[in-house]
């Protein structure tokens, strides 16, 4: 947070076909937050099953993962966060306060009938619970994919694996991976140029 890395990295946009056969360590918690934020109904309501349980994270994880494997032959290792470091507790509390603010704004937009604004505000209110991460881990295991529980930050574990050449790169939107020592960081690893809409598949690669 607040570290200027741009002068120290080499950035390039790569096509998914250029990554064919590569093994990547995925910052899974970051992926799940993305799915929770973006996979929603027009009014910002997340997808739910018949029992009212949120399923946006599972839907995104399943469909993106299967397409990355079947269409682009990527080998994915999914890394989950462990216990956050004590230094991060203050930041977690700050983010919680921001989400509560957007909860209020989302409700106000719904009341006003402004669905576009309601959706925009709702994307900032995502909460990833322990139950959700457990569901995601169980889904991946049922799919026969490797799941790793990090002792601390998932980005650190993924970066360590990349640094040791256990994987080709860490896949995360978080630049912290470069600080944790990954030689390569893949950001915006998506099927399309614009999330969940047909377009050219791509990813953004960074090297320290």
Domain that holds residue 105: 22-129+142-160+167-207
Output the pLDDT for position 202: 53
* 187 CB neighbour count, 10 Å cutoff: 19
pLDDT tens digits along 148-204: 999 999 999 999 999 999 999 999 988 889 999 999 999 988 766 444 443 444 566
Output the pLDDT for position 6: 72
pLDDT of residue 56 exceeding 90: yes
CATH number of the domain bearing residue 73: 3.40.50.1010
State what percent of residues in the chain have pLDDT above 70. 89
Whether residue 186 is contained in a domain is answered as yes
pLDDT of residue 93 exceeding 80: yes
pLDDT of residue 1 exceeding 50: no
Question: Residue 11: which pLDDT band, with cuts at 50, 70 and 90?
Answer: confident
Task: Give the mean model confidence (pLDDT) for residues 46-51.
Answer: 95
Whether residue 63 is contained in a domain is answered as yes
Rounded to whole angstroms, what are the CA distances from 197 to 64, 111, 201, 203? 12, 29, 10, 15
Average pLDDT, rounded, for the chain: 89
Whether residue 77 is contained in a domain is answered as yes
Output the pLDDT for position 60: 95
Whether residue 5 is contained in a domain is answered as no
User: Looking at per-residue confidence, does 124 or 86 come out higher?
Assistant: 124
Output the pLDDT for position 194: 46
Whether residue 10 is contained in a domain is answered as no
Phi, psi for 202 (deg, rounded to 5): -160, 170
Whether residue 12 is contained in a domain is answered as no
Residues in the chain: 208
Whether residue 107 is contained in a domain is answered as yes
Numbers of helices and strands, H then E, in the chain: 7, 7
Domains: count for the chain: 1
User: Looking at per-residue confidence, does 101 or 198 come out higher?
Assistant: 101
* Angle 153-57-91 from CA coordinates, rounded to 5°: 35
State what percent of residues in the chain have pLDDT above 90. 72
User: Looking at per-residue confidence, does 56 or 95 come out higher?
Assistant: 56
Whether residue 16 is contained in a domain is answered as no
Q: What share of the chain is helix, strand, coil (3-state, %, to 5)?
A: 45, 20, 35
């Amino acid at each position: 947070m607040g570290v200027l890395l741009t002068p120290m990295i080499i950035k390039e946009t790569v096509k998914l076909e250029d990554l064919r056969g590569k093994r990547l360590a995925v910052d899974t918690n970051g992926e799940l937050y993305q799915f929770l934020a973006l996979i929603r109904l027009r009014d910002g309501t997340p997808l739910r099953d018949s029992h009212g349980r949120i399923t946006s994270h599972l839907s995104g994880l399943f469909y993106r993962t299967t397409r990355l494997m079947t269409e682009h032959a990527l080998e994915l290792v999914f890394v989950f966060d462990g216990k956050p470091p004590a230094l991060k507790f203050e930041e977690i509390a700050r983010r919680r306060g921001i989400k509560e603010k957007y909860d209020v704004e989302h409700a106000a937009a719904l009341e006003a009938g402004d669905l576009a604004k309601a959706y925009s505000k709702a994307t900032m209110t995502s909460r990833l619970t322990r139950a959700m991460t457990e569901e995601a881990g169980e889904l991946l295991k049922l799919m026969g994919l490797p799941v790793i529980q990090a002792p601390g930050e998932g980005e650190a574990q993924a970066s360590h694996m990349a640094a040791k050449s256990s994987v080709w790169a860490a896949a995360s939107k978080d630049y912290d991976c470069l600080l944790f020592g990954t030689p390569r960081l893949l950001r915006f690893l998506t099927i399309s140029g614009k999330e969940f809409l047909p377009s050219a598949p791509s990813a953004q690669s960074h090297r320290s």
